[in-house]
Each structure stands twice: as structure tokens, then as C-alpha cells.
């Protein structure tokens, strides 16, 4: 099981952020449109447990290739970042997986998270430059660690990149896009 050491920060000018990341050695790898459908159940409340269960449908904007994933994210592991355990697998038929989840008592939430994501990488760190419908622009930086004891080291590497592009860890947010969208609705 992988550990996702991740931060999220709202940004005002995504193009400038991408330019700065490239100056720090990041290379753009793809541009995708992602549609996330989240699930919850009265028998297992994902929000109450600070977890997430979703089906993500993706389309590469350059090649037209489409794919889907089933993701289960564990509870956040600290009070600073979005670090959490994550299980994910590619799925060929998301409609069938959605049907299975419904049979088990999970229902899709009323809000979907839809975004255009430009992905960049410097080998170890993945940067997601996101334009989220209804929310605005964000940068996510993440490192996938194999063990929990690597989390602090990973977050320090992420902090160094943030400082290099003109941001600080104190500016990050721990709220998911889904929670932000529900907050705007309320």
C-alpha cells in the first residue's frame, strides 16, 4: 500500500506557476480532463472516517485516450498536509463498478469534481496544475512513498519546491476539492 505525501495550494496564476516549475526542472507529461464521482453509504460514512471512495474517469486532451480508476483514500495522517494511504486500480468498466458499489449500499454524491489537470514531474515529485470547475486554480505536489516513516522527508522535499516557486507550506489547504464544492453550495 502506497503513501501519498501531498499538499494543495490555491494559486492566482497557474501559467506562472507552471513556468516556475519548469525552471526548477519539471517537465510537462500530460493534460487530462478528470471527472471524479465520490461514493458514501449510511453503513460506512466515508466523510466521518475522513476517507474517500471514488471512480475517476480521465481523458488525455492530447491523445484522446480514456481510462478509469477506482480509488480509496485513507484518513489524513497529519495536521499539515494531505498525506494519506491510497489504494487505486485501473478499471475497464466504471459503470459496472458503480453498479457493484450501489449493490453494496454506496451511492454517488450529488456533486462531481471536474477539472483540467496539467501534470508535470521532476522524476520524484509530481505536480498537478488544476483548473477545477466552480473553484478556480490550484497546485498539488505529491510524492508516493513506500513507507510511513518516509512521510516527513517527502514533505520537506515538497516544501523546498514550494519555496523555490514562491510559496510556503503555511499557504496550503487540507480541504478536498469535493469539500470545497459542498462548502460553496451551503
Catalytic residue numbers, as ranges: 38
C-alpha distances (whole Å) from 25 to each of 17, 18, 112, 120, 139 are 13, 11, 33, 10, 16
Largest Cα–Cα distance in the chain? Answer: 49
C-alpha cell at 160: 523546498
**Angle, CA of 22, 24 and 26, to the nearest 5°:** 50
Using the structure block, give the residue that is written with the C-alpha cell 449510511: 42
Beta strands of the chain (E only): which ranges? Answer: 2-10, 27-40, 52-60, 66-73, 84-91, 107-121, 126-132, 136-145
Question: What is the rounded distance in angstroms from the CA atom of residue 162 to the CA atom of residue 178?
Answer: 24
C-alpha distances (whole Å) from 62 to each of 6, 55, 65 are 26, 22, 8
Amino acid at each position: 500500500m502506497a503513501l501519498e505525501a501531498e499538499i494543495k495550494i490555491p494559486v492566482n496564476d497557474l501559467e506562472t506557476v507552471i513556468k516556475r516549475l519548469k525552471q526548477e526542472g519539471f517537465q510537462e507529461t500530460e493534460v487530462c480532463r478528470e471527472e471524479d464521482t465520490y461514493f458514501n453509504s449510511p453503513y460506512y460514512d466515508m466523510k466521518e472516517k475522513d476517507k474517500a471512495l471514488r471512480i475517476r474517469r480521465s481523458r488525455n486532451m492530447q491523445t484522446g485516450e480514456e481510462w478509469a480508476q477506482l480509488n480509496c483514500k485513507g484518513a489524513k495522517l497529519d495536521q499539515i498536509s494531505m498525506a494519506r494511504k491510497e489504494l487505486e486500480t485501473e478499471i475497464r468498466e466504471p459503470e459496472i463498478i458503480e453498479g457493484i458499489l450501489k449493490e453494496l449500499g454506496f451511492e454517488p454524491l450529488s456533486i462531481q469534481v471536474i477539472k483540467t489537470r496539467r501534470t508535470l514531474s521532476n522524476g520524484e515529485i509530481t505536480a498537478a496544475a488544476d483548473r477545477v470547475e466552480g473553484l478556480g486554480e490550484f497546485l498539488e505536489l505529491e510524492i508516493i512513498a513506500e513507507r510511513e516513516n518516509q512521510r516527513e522527508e517527502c514533505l520537506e522535499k515538497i516544501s523546498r519546491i514550494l519555496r523555490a516557486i514562491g510559496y510556503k507550506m503555511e499557504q496550503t489547504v487540507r480541504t478536498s476539492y469535493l469539500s470545497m464544492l459542498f462548502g460553496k453550495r451551503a
